[in-house]
Amino acid sequence: MSRPKFVAGNWKMHGSLPANLSLLSAVKAKAAGLKAQIAVCVPYPYLAQAQSVLAGSNVAWGAQDLSEHAQGAYTGEVSGSMLHDFGCRYVIIGHSERRSYYGDTDAVVAAKYAAALKAGLTPILCVGETLAEREADITAQVVTRQLDAVIAASGVESLAKAVVAYEPVWAIGTGKTATPAQAQDVHALIRARVAAAGREVAAGLQILYGGSVKPGNAKELFGQPDIDGGLIGGASLVADDFIGICAAG
C-alpha cells in the first residue's frame, strides 16, 4: 500500500500573535501545491488564529495535548471537543516532553489517545526511547510497551484513525538526528508490532520520524520504506525550513 507523506510541525511553547501571523501566512502560501499532507500543532491560545489564517488552505492545524476527560472540574485542562470547536484535525499525544515533565504515563497517554478519537480528532501518538534506554539496548522494549498500552486500551483498529511518531528522545532539539537506518529499524519494528494484531491497519499506518529533522536530511529519512514523513520541532518555526522539509515529502 502506498502511503501519502505527512509532515507536521510542533511549535511547542513558541509564538506570539504577530510572529505567528507571518509564519502561518508564509507556510500557507508556500505549501500550496505541495504533495505532502501538512499540519501545524500550535499552543492552545493560538488555535483561533491558526484556524482563521489556515482555513481553506492545504495546511491543517492541531494541538499539542488534550485532557483525558471530556469535561468537568479539571482546572487548566482543555478537552477534545474544545479542540474540535476550533477546527483542529490533529492532536499530539504522549510527546516525550509531556511524558518526562508532566507525568504522562503510558496509562494517561492511552486515556488521552482514546479521548482524542472520541472527539473526532486524529491522534499523533509519540513513542521513543531515551539515550539511556538506547544504550541499555532496550529501545524495542520501550517502544513496544508505549505502543501496546494504546493498543490494549483502544484496540489495533483504532490505529486506522491515528498517526504514530517515532521520536528518539536523544534526537529531540539536540541536532543529533537518528541515521536513516536507525530510524528505519524502529519504524519497521513499530509496523511489525501493529501488523501482528492487524495486517491491514499496519500497511496503511503513517509512521513519522521526529528529532532534528531539517531540509538537508529530510529527503533521505523520508526515503526509507517505513518512514512516512516527519514531526518537526525547531525547523517548523522557520517558514522556509518547514516548507523545505514538506517539499521532501
Shortest reach from residue 176's CB to ligand 13P, in Å? 9
Shortest reach from residue 75's CB to ligand 13P, in Å? 26
Respond yes or no: is residue 84 known to be catalytic: no
When asked if residue 231 is in the footprint of ligand 13P (CB under 6 A), the reply is yes
Shortest reach from residue 73's CB to ligand 13P, in Å? 30
Between 198 and 209, whose beta carbon lies closer to ligand 13P?
209
Please tell me the number of Cα atoms within 13 Å of 130 on its side-chain side: 7
Q: In angstroms, rounded to a whole number, what is the distance separating the alpha carbons of residues 249 and 32?
A: 14
**First and final C-alpha spacing in the chain:** 17
When asked if residue 62 is in the footprint of ligand 13P (CB under 6 A), the reply is no
Interface characters, 87-116, with ligand 13P (x: CB under 6 A): --------x---------------------
When asked if residue 229 is in the footprint of ligand 13P (CB under 6 A), the reply is no
Interface of this chain with ligand 13P, residues 127 to 186, rule: CB under 6 A: 167, 172-173
When asked if residue 228 is in the footprint of ligand 13P (CB under 6 A), the reply is no
Report how many residues bind ligand 13P under the rule CB under 6 A: 14
Q: In angstroms, rounded to a whole number, what is the distance separating the alpha carbons of residues 169 and 129?
A: 6
Respond yes or no: is residue 95 known to be catalytic: yes
Q: Which residues of 110-124 are buried (b: 16+ CB within 10 A; e: fewer)?
A: bbbbbbbbebebbbb
Where do runs of H (alpha helix) occur along the chain?
Answer: 17-31, 47-54, 80-85, 96-101, 106-118, 131-135, 139-154, 180-197, 199-204, 215-222, 239-247
Q: Which of 232, 243, 246, 248 binds ligand 13P (CB under 6 A)?
A: 232
Q: In angstroms, rounded to a whole number, what is the distance separating the alpha carbons of residues 94 and 188?
A: 20
Q: Which of 15, 62, 128, 210 binds ligand 13P (CB under 6 A)?
A: 210
When asked if residue 123 is in the footprint of ligand 13P (CB under 6 A), the reply is no
Contact 87, 55 (CB under 8 A): yes
Residues that bind ligand 13P (CB under 6 A): 10, 95, 167, 172-173, 210-213, 231-235
